[in-house]
Every structure is written in structure tokens, then in C-alpha cells.
Amino acid sequence: MLSVKNYLQKYNSKSANAVVWVSFYVDREKINFSTKITVNVKYWNEKKQCIGIGDKNAKDKNLIIENVLSRINNVFVKYRLKDKVLTRDVFLRAYHRPADYDTFFDFVSEYP
């Protein structure tokens, strides 16, 4: 079962803003990456792992975070349905290139 955690990463201790990061495990290897969404720390809801309504762009930012989470889930489902082994490197490659086939020749070779 996939357990994805959203958390804040502050780069400057004096700043009130932080970046939303995503963390989860693939084949016992931890994957962390940034959503590139910045939020004021006081608007972050740790329990729901989303941005609260105090931020004026909360809906848009939460939608982007949900999009990242759904892309992660899509990669896991795609590999589970095809009975393929999913490793950290394979996941990162599939996440950053969401197309089902790299080239037309890959498509043709799978469907003879």
C-alpha cells in the first residue's frame, strides 16, 4: 500500500514561507521531491496535509498538490496492472515522463 506524506521544508529559518515536499517509499527506498509550491507556515494544515483557507491561492495550490499525488498514484497503478517491477529509478523515469510509450516503436513492439 502506498503511503504518501506531504510536509514543509523551510530553507531559511527567518522566513515564514516553506516549500511543500512529497515523501514516500518505493521498494524500501525513500523518494522525496518538491512540489515547488510555497506556503506560509501558519496556513499549512499538518493534519490534512494541505494548505488552509487563509492563503488566498489555497485552492489552486491544493489542486497542484493533488495533481502531483494523482500522478504518483497513476505510476503505481500502471506498473501494478502490468505486473512490472517498480524501483526508485523506474518510478522517477515514469513520473517525469508520463507518456505510456517512449516511441512509436515501443508501442508497436508491445502489440504485435
Strand bridging mode 50-51 / 44-45: antiparallel
pLDDT digit string (tens) for the chain, length 112 residues: 578 999 998 888 788 899 999 999 998 999 998 999 999 999 999 999 999 989 999 999 999 999 999 999 999 999 999 999 999 999 998 888 766 656 767 767 776 6
**What per-residue confidence (pLDDT) applies to 13?**
79
14-52 as b/e: b if 16+ CB within 10 A: eeeebebbbebebeeeebeeebebebeeebbeeeebbbe
Q: How far apart are CA 21 and CA 7, in angstroms?
A: 5
